[in-house]
Amino acid sequence: MHPILREILLEPVGWLAIGGSLVMFGIGIWVSLFLRKKMREEERRRGGK
């Protein structure tokens, strides 16, 4: 196995890096969806007046 893959997959630090990357990716997706929802609500509210 390649030394970098071994480091990532067999060491706890590698699993922390994978988990942290997934959390950061998830937060980015959540923020974009949340902002899109808020923008739609604001547009609807402005259009209704």
- Band of the pLDDT at 47, cuts 50, 70, 90? confident
pLDDT at position 43, please? 93
pLDDT over 70, % of the chain: 96
Residue 48: pLDDT band with limits 50, 70, 90: low
Regarding predicted confidence, which is higher, 9 or 20? 20
Place of tokens 């706890």: 12
Is the whole model's pTM more than 0.85, yes or no? no
